Amino acid sequence: MKKWILAALLLLAAAASCQKLQFPVRSDDTSLIGLKCFVYYDPQNPSVRQELSLLMGTYNRERGLISYTFPADERFTPAALQRCRIEATIPPTSVLELTDAGGNPLGHGFEGFYDLRGNTLYFRITAADGTVKPYQLTCKSSR
Amino acid sequence: MKKFALPFLMLLSLLACKREDPVFSLTLSNANVKVSNLSQDYLVQVDNNAKTIYIEVDYLDKAELSALAVEIVGLPADAAANPAKSTFNYASGATQKVKITQGVTSAEYAISAAAAAPQPHFVSVKLNGVDVVDGSAKLKGSADLTTVSVEFVVSPANTIVKVGGEVIASATEEAPNAIDFSDKLNGVKFTLVCDDVTKEETIKVVTTGINKVNRLWGRYVKPVTDGADAWWSEVIPASDQSMRTMAMDDKYIYLAKTNKTLYAVSITDPTKTKAMDMGDYAAGGVFGSCALASMEDGNGGYVTLLSNMVNSTASEFVIWKWDSMDGKPTKVLSYHLPEAARIGDQMSVEGTWKDGKIWFHDFTSQQAAYVFTVSNGVINTTATKVSYDAKQGNWSAIYKYDDTQYIGGGPGAKSRLFTISGSTATTQLELPGAYFANPLHGIRFFTFNEQEYMSYVVLRNSYQDGQLRITELNGETLKASLETPGATWRFGLGDPVENDITAEKNGNGLGNSILRTIGGKIYISAYVPGAGLSVFTIE
C-alpha cells in the first residue's frame, strides 16, 4: 500500500513541477497622458512661470505627432522660449526615452531647460510588455 | 592541384580589395519639410528607415491637398533634394517621390499627405449674450432659464449643431432660438456633427445673484385674498401711521407706536411678540412722533435706538437706547436744535455704536440733515448739519452707499443720489421716475452671489399699499446703475398675492425696510403703515 501512495505522490509532484507559472499580463499602454510645458518668462524671477498644455495644440494621438504654437503673448518672447521645462505624464508601468530624429536613444525623461523656438523633440514611450511608440513634439512661436 | 593555387589566391586578393558602396546616412527630420499656403498648423512625420514623409494638414485645409506645396529645406551643404519644391495633388492618396542626394549617396523618400479628421467644436457660444467660459455661462438668477437664447460660432463652418436631435441655428435678432437651460445640474447637451464625426459638448448655466426670494411671513392689514388679519389689532394694536416706523436687529423687528409702546416681534415667528419696557421714557413726555433704528453695538450684538421728534429750539431732543429686548431704556442723548428745524421723524444709522453716525433729516427745510457721531457708545452732543443742494421731501431719511455716496428717500420729492463731502451734499442724480416711483424708503445695498442689489420700500396706490423691491445694480458706478437699473423683484406688502390693493391710507407716506445677514442668510423686513409687514429671505 505504501508503494502506491509513494508512487501517487511522486506522480503528483512531477505533474506540479510541469505546471506553468501564471505571470500577470504586462501592460502595452504607451499612451501620453499629459504633456506640460513651463515657460520661465521672467529672467529676473526664476520662480515665475507659465504652464501650458502642449496636447492642446495639434495632436495626432494615433501617430504620436504633436505640434504646439505658443500663444501670441508678450511673455513668450524668443528668449523665454529658450527656458522651457517639459513634464510628461505616462502610464506608471511605461518608460519615456528621448531619441534623435532617427530613433536612437538619448536618455530617459525630460531634464533641464529646452529651447522650444521651432525645435522638434523626439521621444518614445515603451510599455511594460515592450511595445514602443515614438512621439515627436514640434513647438513654434507665433511671434 | 598546385596549378590552381595561384589563380585562387589572385581572386581572393581581388575580392579583398573590392570597396563597398557608400551608404546614405543623412537623417531627415520634420524640420526639413516645409508646407506652404496652409491656414492651420500641420504635422510632419519622417520615417528615415521606411523613407517616408507623412504630412497631415488640418481638416480646414483639406481643400489644399489637391495642390499642396511641399519644400525640402535645411539640408546640409553637400545635400540636395530633387525636386526641392513641388506642388502635388495628394487628395487621392497618391505619393510624391523626392530624391535626396548627399555626395555620391542618395535615397528616395515617398511623400504622402492627408487631412486630419474634422474636430467639430464651438469657437464661441453666448447664452443670452453672455459668453460661455469653460462650459458654463453665468446668467442672472432673475433670468428665465426655460428660454435662453443661444448664439454660437462653430468650426469647421459646416458643422451642424443639434439639441435633443433637432438641428438648431445660431440665434439672431431676426431668428432667435430658445433653449431650456433650467436643469442647472446637468446642463444642455449639444451634438456637433461634421462629416461623419460627432462630438458632444455640454453647456451649463450658473446663476449669479438671487435665484429666489421667499416671504418668510407676512402680516397684512387689509388683505384682499385671505381675509382680515387680526394680528394688527389683537397683537399689535395699530395699523396706521401711528405705527410709523420699524427697526430690526438679528432677532427681532421693532415697531414703535407713537405716544405709547415699543413692540418686539420675532423675525422668525410673528406670533412671538412683546411690549417692551419703556422705563422712564413715556414718563418723560417726549414720546410723540418718533424715529427708530437698530445699530450694531460693535461686539456682535445690537442696540435699539428710539428718538422723539422736536420742531423747535425749546424742545429737548432725546434718544433712548435699549441694550436688549428685555431691558429698560437709557437716555443717551439730550439735544436742543440750534435753529428752527424738525428732526426725529426718521432715523438712519451707519457704522456701529462704537464708531458710527446717526442721521436725522430736517423735515422743515427738507434740505439738510443733522448728523450725530457715536464714539465708543457716546453720542457727540454737537451735531453736524449737512446741507443738500435740493429738497428731499419732509418725512425723509438719508441712506449710506459708501463713504461719499448717499441716497435720500421719502415722500414729497424724488429720491436723489448725493455726493457728501463735509457738510455739503451735492446731487449726482435724481433717480429716474420711470424706474423709481416716489416715495422710496429703507434703501439698503447688498451683494449676493456676485450680484449687487438695492432693496427698498416703495408706496403704491396713493399710499394705500406698498411693495418691497429688490433691484439689480449693474453699472460701473452707482449713478450708472440707477440711471439704467437691472431687473427688479417686487413683493406686495398689503396682500400676499395682489399688488396695489386698497388698504388703510398711510397719511404720512412712510415705510421702511431693513436688511440683516443672520447666520449667513440675508433677511429683509419691509413695512408700510396701513399695508403690512413682511419678512423675506433670499436664496
CB-defined contacts A:B, below 8 A? 46
Q: Does A47 fall in a domain?
A: yes
How many Å lie between the alpha carbon of A71 and the closest alpha carbon of chain B?
A: 13
Q: CB distance B43–A60 less than 8 Å?
A: yes
Is residue B283 a contact partner of residue B236, using CB atoms and an 8 Å limit?
Answer: no
Nearest to A120 among B30, B48, B49 (CB): B30
Question: Alpha-carbon dihedral of residues B425, B430, B436, B442, nearest 10 degrees?
Answer: 0
How many Å lie between the alpha carbon of B26 and the closest alpha carbon of chain A?
A: 10
Is residue B140 a contact partner of residue B208, using CB atoms and an 8 Å limit?
Answer: yes
Chain B residues within an 8 Å CB radius of A63 = 43, 45, 54, 56
Chain A residues within an 8 Å CB radius of B54 = 63
Whether residue A139 lies within 8 A of chain B, CB to CB, comes out as no
**What average pLDDT is seen over chain B?**
91
How many Cβ atoms sit within 10 Å of the Cβ of residue B73?
Answer: 12
- Do you find a cis peptide bond into B83, omega within 30 degrees of 0? yes
Q: CB distance B45–A63 less than 8 Å?
A: yes
pLDDT in tens, B274-328: 999 988 876 554 556 789 999 999 999 999 999 989 998 988 999 999 999 999 9
Chain A residues within an 8 Å CB radius of B34 = none
ipTM: 0.74
pLDDT in tens, B154-168: 989 999 999 999 999
Q: How many domains does chain A have?
A: 1
Q: CB distance A67–B116 less than 8 Å?
A: no
Q: CB distance A63–B46 less than 8 Å?
A: no
Chain B residues within an 8 Å CB radius of A120 = 29-31
Q: Does A7 fall in a domain?
A: no
Q: Domain with A53 in it: what CATH number?
A: 2.60.40.4120
Chain B residues within an 8 Å CB radius of A100 = 27
Burial B274-293 (b: 16+ CB within 10 A, else e): eebebeebeeeebbebbbbb
B52-57 and B105-115: which strand pairing?
parallel
Q: CB distance A101–B42 less than 8 Å?
A: no
Is residue B511 a contact partner of residue B525, using CB atoms and an 8 Å limit?
Answer: no
pLDDT in tens, B434-448: 999 889 999 999 999
Q: Does A134 fall in a domain?
A: yes
Write the DSSP symbol of residue B352.
B
* Per-residue pLDDT in tens (0 to 9) along chain B, 539 residues: 556 665 565 555 555 555 667 889 999 988 899 999 899 889 999 999 999 999 999 999 999 999 999 999 999 999 999 999 999 999 999 999 999 999 999 999 999 999 998 989 998 999 999 999 889 999 988 889 999 999 999 989 999 999 999 999 999 988 889 999 999 999 999 999 999 899 999 999 999 999 899 999 999 999 999 777 889 888 887 777 678 889 999 999 999 887 678 999 999 999 999 999 988 876 554 556 789 999 999 999 999 999 989 998 988 999 999 999 999 999 999 999 999 999 999 999 999 999 999 999 999 999 999 999 999 999 999 999 999 999 999 999 999 999 999 999 999 999 999 999 999 999 999 999 999 988 999 999 999 998 999 999 999 999 999 999 999 999 999 999 999 999 999 999 999 999 999 988 888 899 999 999 999 999 999 999 999 999 999 99
- In chain B, whose CA is at the least distance from the CA of A137? B43
Nearest to A136 among B40, B45, B48 (CB): B45
Q: What is the pTM of this model?
A: 0.68
Chain B residues within an 8 Å CB radius of A118 = 31
> Cα-flanking dihedrals φ and ψ of residue B3, to 5°?
-65, -20
Q: Does A90 fall in a domain?
A: yes
Q: B105 pairs with which residues across the strands? A: B102
Nearest to A58 among B49, B54, B58 (CB): B58
Q: Which domain holds residue A50?
A: 25-141
Q: Does A10 fall in a domain?
A: no
Extract the C-alpha cell encoding B212: 429666489
Nearest to A65 among B31, B43, B48 (CB): B43
Q: Does A121 fall in a domain?
A: yes
How many Cβ atoms sit within 10 Å of the Cβ of residue B465?
Answer: 29
Whether residue A103 lies within 8 A of chain B, CB to CB, comes out as yes
Nearest to A101 among B40, B43, B46 (CB): B46
Percent of chain B residues topping a pLDDT of 90: 78
Is residue B243 a contact partner of residue B529, using CB atoms and an 8 Å limit?
Answer: yes
- In chain A, whose CA is at the least distance from the CA of B59? A58
Extract the C-alpha cell encoding A65: 505627432
Q: CB distance B28–A101 less than 8 Å?
A: yes
Q: Which residues of B touch A (CB under 8 A)?
A: 27-31, 40-46, 48-49, 54, 56, 58, 116
- In chain A, whose CA is at the least distance from the CA of B26? A102
Closest CA to A89 of A22, A41, A37, A11: A37
Is residue B152 a contact partner of residue B128, using CB atoms and an 8 Å limit?
Answer: no
Q: Does A12 fall in a domain?
A: no
Cα dihedral sign, A138-A139-A141-A142: positive
Interface test with B, best of A53, A62, A65, A69 (most B CBs within 10 A): A65
> B83: burial class by Cβ within 10 Å (0-12, 13-18, 19+)?
middle
Extract the C-alpha cell encoding A140: 513654434
pLDDT in tens, A39-58: 999 988 888 999 998 988 88
Chain A residues within an 8 Å CB radius of B31 = 118-120, 138
pLDDT in tens, B329-374: 999 999 999 999 999 999 999 999 999 999 999 999 999 999 999 9
Q: Does A1 fall in a domain?
A: no
Whether residue A142 lies within 8 A of chain B, CB to CB, comes out as no
Closest CA to A123 of A80, A87, A69: A87
Q: CB distance A65–B27 less than 8 Å?
A: no
